Amino acid sequence: MSRLNIAKINNVDIQKINSGQVIIDLQTAVKELVENSLDANSTSIEILFKNYGIDSIEVIDNGDGIDRLDFKNIALNSYTSKLSSFDDLDILNSFGFRGEAIHSLVSTSKSFQITTATKETYPKASILNFGSNGLLISIKPTTRNVGTSSLITNLFENLPVRRKNFIKNHKREFNKAIELLTNYCLITENVRLKIFNILPKRNNKNLIIATKGLNNKLKDNIYSVFGSKIFNFKSLIEIDFSLNLFSTSKVKLVGYLSNPSPKMGVKSPSHQYIFVNSRPVILKNLKDLLNNLYKSFNLLQYPVFFLNLKINLNMIDINVTPDKRTILIQNETEILNLIKSKILDLYHNSDAEISKNNFK
C-alpha cells in the first residue's frame, strides 16, 4: 500500500468509523433502546422484534417523552440530555450518557423513526424521521399516549458484511439479545417489560418474556422470567450483606444464591446474573469466586445466582467500553474478600456442612 502523509480524517468519516463500534450486534441495538426507555422513567416497555429483528426492532415506552426543542438533537453524535460534563459521571446513575447510541443506529440502519408525546403535548404526538447523518428529516403529527416509540428497520443495512452475518446467524443473535434483555427483565423494579417476536409469514406474535410491573421486585421477576420449572426456588438463599469497606464506604450485596446442598444447584453455569447498581455487567472475578466457593461444597453442580452489588458511584468506572458492560471497581480485591468470608459463613451455617462431608 502506498503511504499517505499523516492528515486528519474528516469528521463525517470519523463518525462513520466510530458508529460501527457502538452498535455491534442485535443485542447492543435493542439494549440501547431499552436503556433509553428506562432512563425516561417508563413503567411499561414493549419490545417487538419482527422476524427475529431482521426486519425491524421497535421499543415502545410510556416514559417522559421527548421535548419538541430536543427533536433536532436526538440523533446527533455526542448529544445527550443525561450528562453535561465529565465530572457528572461520579453522580450519574442513568444507563446512557455518551449520546452516541441513536446516532449509531441511524447511521447503520435503513431507517430510524421516533414517535413521541410528552404530558404537555398529549394526546398530540410527533413522528420523527432521521437521515443516516443524524439530521432530522421530517416531523409529522399523530396521536399517542405519553411516551416514546423507537423503530429501527433493517439493522446494519449500511454495513453489508454485518447485515449478512446477522441474517445468517439470526437465531443465535436473537437468543443473545433475549439473554441480555433477560438481565433487564430480572433487575428492573416497578417496570413491566414485554418482549415479542413477530413472524410476518405466519403473522403470529410470540410472547417471549413478560414481567408483572407495579411493585415487582427481583423475586417476582425471577418467577416471571423462569417460571418454576427450571430450578427449584426453594434452593435459593436470600442474600443481604453489608460489607464494611474501610469503615467509610458502604457496599451491599443483595439478591439470591443457590444453597450448596446436594441437588440444590444446577447442571451447568447458566442462570448466573450479576448487576452493579442494577446495571447488568460482566464481573468475571465475582462470578469465578461464586462458582469456586460453591464447588468446594457441592462438586457436582453449579450455583444459580441473581446478585446486585450496590456501591458508591465514585468507586466504579462504567465508561470502559461503549456498551458499559465491563466495569472497573475500586478495591475490588478487598470487596471480593469480604464477600467470600460472608458466603463461607453462610454456607457453613446452612446444612451445606453435611453435603461437604458427603463429598469428601
Taking the complex as a whole, how short is the minimal distance between the CB of residue 222 and Mg ion, in angstroms? 26
Q: Least distance to ligand ADP from the beta carbon of 75, Å?
A: 7
For Mg ion, which residue of 63, 65, 96, 134 counts as binding (CB under 5 A)? 96
Query: Which residue's CB is nearer to ligand ADP, number 142 or number 206?
Result: 142
Residue 60 CB, shortest distance to Mg ion, in Å, is 16
309, containing H or E segment? strand 305-310
Among 97, 174, 184, 294, binds ligand ADP (CB under 6 A): 97
Find the binder of ligand ADP among 56, 148, 221, 224 (CB under 6 A): 148
194 contacts ligand ADP (rule: CB under 6 A): no
Piece in contact with Mg ion (CB under 5 A), picked from 34-42, 164-172, 215-223, 329-337 = 34-42
Residues in binding contact with ligand ADP, number by CB under 6 A: 21
Cα–Cα distance, 184 to 191 (Å, whole number): 10
CB contact at 8 A, 49 and 57: yes
Instruction: Answer with the entry of Mg ion, ligand ADP, none that 61 interacts with (C-beta below 5 to 8 A by kind).
Output: ligand ADP
Interface characters, 100-139, with ligand ADP (x: CB under 6 A): xxxx------------------------------------
Instruction: State the nearest-atom distance from the C-beta of 32 to Mg ion, in Å.
Output: 5
Largest Cα–Cα distance in the chain?
72
Total of residues contacting Mg ion (CB under 5 A): 3
Rule CB under 5 A: say whether 303 interacts with Mg ion.
Answer: no
Quick one: which of 81, 40, 79, 83 has its CA closest to 63? 40
Q: Cβ closer to ligand ADP: 18 or 291?
A: 18
Q: Which grid cell sits at 166?
A: 446477522
152 touches Mg ion (CB under 5 A): no
Selected range binding ligand ADP among 13-21, 95-103, 119-127, 210-218, rule: CB under 6 A: 95-103
Q: Applying CB under 5 A, does 101 fall inside the site for Mg ion?
A: yes
Torsion of CA 227, 230, 236, 238, to 10 degrees: -40
Is 146 a binding residue for ligand ADP by CB under 6 A? The answer is no
**Distance in Å, CB of 161 to ligand ADP, minimum:** 24
- The Cα 324–Cα 179 span in angstroms is 16
Query: Which residue's CB comes closest to ligand ADP?
Result: 96
Helix ranges, the chain (H): 11-22, 26-39, 101-108, 160-168, 170-187, 218-226, 284-295, 332-349, 352-359
32 binds ligand ADP (CB under 6 A): yes
Report the candidate in 341, 272, 281, 275 with the shortest Cα–Cα distance to residue 301: 272
**By C-beta, is 75 or 251 nearer to Mg ion?**
75
- Report the chain's terminal Cα–Cα distance, integer Å: 64
Contacting ligand ADP (CB under 6 A), which of 47, 74, 222, 352?
74
Describe the crossing of helices 26-39 and 170-187 by its angle, rounded to 10 degrees.
Answer: 20
Contact 77, 100 (CB under 8 A): yes
Element of type H or E holding 124: strand 124-130
Answer for which of 16, 49, 56, 99 binds ligand ADP (CB under 6 A) is: 99
Q: Which is nearer to ligand ADP, 100 or 352 (CB)?
A: 100
Q: Which three cell numbers stand for residue 187?
A: 433487575
Report the alpha-carbon distance of residue 46 to residue 194 in Å, rounded: 5
Among residue numbers 246 through 265, which ones bind ligand ADP (CB under 6 A)? Answer: none
In which order are the strands placed within the sheet that holds 44-50? 136-143, 124-130, 111-117, 147-153, 56-61, 44-50, 192-199, 204-210
Among 15, 27, 28, 36, binds ligand ADP (CB under 6 A): 36
Footprint of ligand ADP on this chain (CB under 6 A)? 32, 36-37, 40, 61, 63-64, 66, 74, 80-82, 96-103, 148
